[in-house]
Amino acid sequence: MLVGLASWVIVGHSERRRDAGETDELIGRKLSRALEVGLRPILCVGEQLDEREAGQAEAVVAAQLRGCLGGFADDPAALSTAGLVVAYEPVWAIGTGRTARGADAAAMAEAIRAAVAGLGLGFAAVAEGLPVLYGGSVTAASAGEFMAEPAIDGALVGGASLKVEEMAGIVARAGLTAAGRRSAATAGV
């Protein structure tokens, strides 16, 4: 339905998992279908508060990645070719007033790449170039903390995208971060 109307698609969003009961297997099939029709996928993963408090956050996210990406064992390079992006959205930080810290989100971004690399032969190359976004109630005030982390490649913005001032602040911060990273890369050459 989206072909010709969109070039990106979000799969596995926490609200779809919660409200529509989408399983990792179903999300994996949706991801496969998105690749088949040429849509660039953003795969969302993230834990609930009780899972985080029990020290299971990384295990939960790794299990979601296995469940969603396991069907690509025969051709993991297809994920890179399609431009797969993973968005870490800690469910406990979405619309609750609670927020993750930049360092925690960066640690999870590294755990995501490690989990993808551990999926089997060929997945290490996918993980190496895998963009990871942070998507847990990003605001203009919090965006800088997440974007300052080298392990985080950007933000998946939800409700703040509907507020002009908030979104403008997020975009401005992203621009400053991108310019700083380009400058640092140029200085290192």
User: Active-site residues: which are they?
Assistant: 13, 89
CA-nearest of 48, 17, 12, 10 to 28 is 12
Dihedral (CA of 54, 107, 128, 46) sign: positive
Residues 6+ apart with CB under 8 A from 117: 123, 124, 126, 127, 128
Two structure tokens written together for 33: 């279908």
Dump strand ranges (E) for the chain. 8-11, 40-45, 85-88, 132-134, 154-155
Q: Tell me if residue 101 falls in helix, strand or coil.
A: coil
Rounded Cα distance, 45 and 42, in Å: 10
